[in-house]
A = this chain, B = another copy of it.
Amino acid sequence: MKEVNLKRGIKALVFDAYGTLFDVSSVVSVCNELFPDQGKELSQIWRAKQLEYTWLRSLMGRYEDFWKVTEDALIFACKALNLLCELSVCDRLMEAYLHLDPYPEVRQALSALSSYPLAILSNGSPRMLKALVESAGLEGVFVPIISADEAGIYKPSPRVYQLAPQKLGIDRGSIGFVSSNSFDVNGAKSFGFWTCWVNRLNNTWDEIGFLPDVTVNKLTDLTNILKLSR
A170 CB–B CB distance under 8 Å: no
Within 8 A of B (CB), among A59-91: 59-62, 64, 72-73, 75-76, 79-80
Do A209 and B157 touch across chains, with their CB atoms under 8 A apart? no
A186 CB–B CB distance under 8 Å: yes
Give Cα A80 to B201, complex, Å.
12
Contact flag A158-B208 (CB < 8 Å), given A55-B55, A56-B55, A183-B56:
no
Do B57 and A208 touch across chains, with their CB atoms under 8 A apart? yes
- Chain B residue numbers with a CB within 8 Å of A156 are 56, 59-60
Interface bin, chain A: 20 to 34
- Chain B residue numbers with a CB within 8 Å of A206 are 49, 52-53, 56, 76
Q: Which of A58, A157, A208, A209 has the most CB of B within 10 A?
A: A208
A115 CB–B CB distance under 8 Å: no
Do A56 and B187 touch across chains, with their CB atoms under 8 A apart? yes
Give Cα A39 to B208, complex, Å.
23
- Chain B residue numbers with a CB within 8 Å of A209 are 57, 62, 64
Do A60 and B208 touch across chains, with their CB atoms under 8 A apart? yes
Do B204 and A60 touch across chains, with their CB atoms under 8 A apart? no
A174 CB–B CB distance under 8 Å: no
CB distance from A180 to the nearest CB of B (A): 16
A125 CB–B CB distance under 8 Å: no
Residue of chain B at shortest CB distance from A183: B56
When each residue 146-189 of chain A gets 1 if its CB lies under 8 Å from chain B and 0 otherwise, what string results? 00000001111110000000000000000000000001001100
Do B207 and A76 touch across chains, with their CB atoms under 8 A apart? yes
A-B contact pairs, 21 of them (CB 8 A): A52-B206, A53-B207, A55-B55, A55-B56, A55-B59, A56-B183, A56-B186, A56-B187, A56-B206, A56-B208, A57-B209, A58-B59, A59-B59, A59-B153, A59-B154, A59-B157, A60-B208, A62-B209, A75-B207, A76-B204, A76-B207
Add 15 more A-B contacts to A59-B156, A60-B190, A79-B204 (CB < 8 A).
A52-B52, A52-B206, A53-B206, A55-B55, A55-B59, A56-B156, A56-B186, A56-B208, A57-B209, A60-B156, A60-B208, A62-B209, A75-B207, A76-B204, A80-B204
